[in-house]
Chain A
Amino acid sequence: MCLAIPGKILTREGQTGRVDFGGLIRQAALDLVPDAAIGDVVLVHAGFAIQKVDLSMEPEIAERLGVSC
């Protein structure tokens, strides 16, 4: 019922960050993930990061996002 896809945080300024979804970059609100930092992978739903993601079991997605695991 809720589309969300993982992306890597490139920059964070306060509550707003730029997130890289494998070549596609969009601003995302980080209000709901106060402890997420640059380089972290987050699930983004409707422009808001809703959760940090652990991609250690998903090499394909990790590679697409340029995250080493």
Chain B
Amino acid sequence: MNANSRILLAHGAGGRLTHELITSLFVRCFDNAPLAALDDSAELTLPCGDRLAFTTDAYVVQPIEFPGGDIGRLAVCGTVNDLATKGARPIGISAAMILEEGLDRATLERIVRSMSAAAKEAGVELVTGDTKVVERGAATSLYIATAGIGVIAPGINLSGRNARAGDAVIVSGTLGDHGITVMNARQNLGFEGDIRSDAAPLNGLVDHMLSAASSVHVIRDLTRGGLATALNEIAASSGVRVEIEEEVVPVRNSVLAGCQMLGLDPLYVANEGKIVAFVEAGRAEAVLSAMRDHPYGRDAIRIGSVVSGEPGVILKTPIGGARRLLMLDGDPLPRIC
């Protein structure tokens, strides 16, 4: 069997195959500089010289409602976050709703109200949209495709290509909450207690960071593929070596227990309200304290640095060992051995 001859679920899992598909097909065929940057949103320059961030995203999560969020909140937050990681102030979002024939009207209303609430929280409006209904079975309840536009203020230049030797690596909070929550709901794992999705709009948090220092080089939101995949993308784009300390990476006990039970590594589990930032080391403390002043950055912590050496990501373990951290391979599945 040739893994490259057909599209597999793993091509959509946000890991190595996704990355390969994007670079070897989309980037090559569409061939332009804003796309080739492979950031969460493209940077476009208007004739007057002002810069826009432009992003699009599709949401197909199952189930559509889960503790801490739903597909609507996810769609708005994900779009806002893709703009925010370029340092852009979101000015408008679109939403195309693909509905399955027979979808419960009350469910749709809940999702739409949740989108509205998330937009209000982020201070952005849903200004245009589209509605399609497909035959029962052609979609599962509902899918949402969004686009978002934001304005990048002069002087702000955030990109995955900007990491430099000496940078401090910071995460905004605990990892894996969203992925474990959704996996529990999807696979009926029967987990209860302290697990909920972290879905949140992070533009306010990014504002705090950027006002604290102009020395923020990279911000990336940690979605599918988790921290490990995001760090690998940044290390590759910037051509740098990233070293992180396993012991300081924040993970909730409940999420860690869920990961251990299912044989998953929290470094590869999805988040929807967390970012990783690369910041000039001298300003790291200032940025951290600005982050901790924001409700979505209270657990922000420095987890590592950019060091000299061959590009890649190295994880230093609590017992003094070190190992290479690779991108997500395939789709994480619960396992017992």
Residues of A within 8 A of B (CB): 1-3, 5, 7, 20-27, 44-46, 64
How many pairs of residues, A versus B, come closer than 8 Å at their CB atoms?
A: 54
The 3 closest A-B pairs by CB, nearest first: A23-B254, A21-B257, A23-B194
**How many B residues are at the interface, by size bracket?**
20 to 34
**A20 contacts B337, C-beta separation under 8 Å:** no
Bound-complex Cα distance A1 to B263 (A): 11
Question: Given A23-B193, A24-B191, A26-B191, are A46 and B336 neighbors across the interface (CB < 8 Å)?
Answer: yes
B192 interfacial contact with A, CB 8 Å: yes
Provide a sorted-by-A list of 28 A–B residue pairs whose CB atoms are within 8 angstroms: A2-B336, A2-B337, A3-B262, A5-B257, A5-B260, A5-B261, A7-B257, A20-B193, A21-B254, A21-B257, A22-B254, A22-B256, A23-B195, A23-B252, A23-B257, A24-B191, A24-B192, A24-B193, A24-B195, A24-B254, A24-B257, A25-B191, A25-B192, A25-B193, A26-B190, A26-B192, A26-B261, A46-B336
**B335 contacts A3, C-beta separation under 8 Å:** yes
Partner of B258, one of A2, A24, A45: A24
Bound-complex Cα distance A25 to B253 (A): 11
Using CB atoms, name the residue of chain A closest to B256. A22
Bound-complex Cα distance A19 to B336 (A): 17
**A22 contacts B253, C-beta separation under 8 Å:** yes
CB distance from A8 to the nearest CB of B (A): 11
**A44 contacts B192, C-beta separation under 8 Å:** no
Q: Which residues on the A side are within 8 Å of B153 (C-beta)? A: none
CB distance from A19 to the nearest CB of B (A): 10
B189 interfacial contact with A, CB 8 Å: yes
Using CB atoms, name the residue of chain B closest to A63. B253
CB distance from A3 to the nearest CB of B (A): 5
CB distance from B222 to the nearest CB of A (A): 21
Q: Which residues on the B side are within 8 Å of A64 (C-beta)? A: 253
Q: Which residues on the A side are within 8 Å of B260 (C-beta)? A: 3, 5
**B193 contacts A3, C-beta separation under 8 Å:** no
Q: Which residues on the B side are within 8 Å of A22 (C-beta)? A: 253-254, 256-257
CB distance from B29 to the nearest CB of A (A): 43
CB distance from A67 to the nearest CB of B (A): 13
**B336 contacts A3, C-beta separation under 8 Å:** yes
Question: Given A25-B193, A26-B189, A44-B261, are A3 and B337 neighbors across the interface (CB < 8 Å)?
Answer: yes
CB distance from B203 to the nearest CB of A (A): 30
Using CB atoms, name the residue of chain B closest to A28. B190
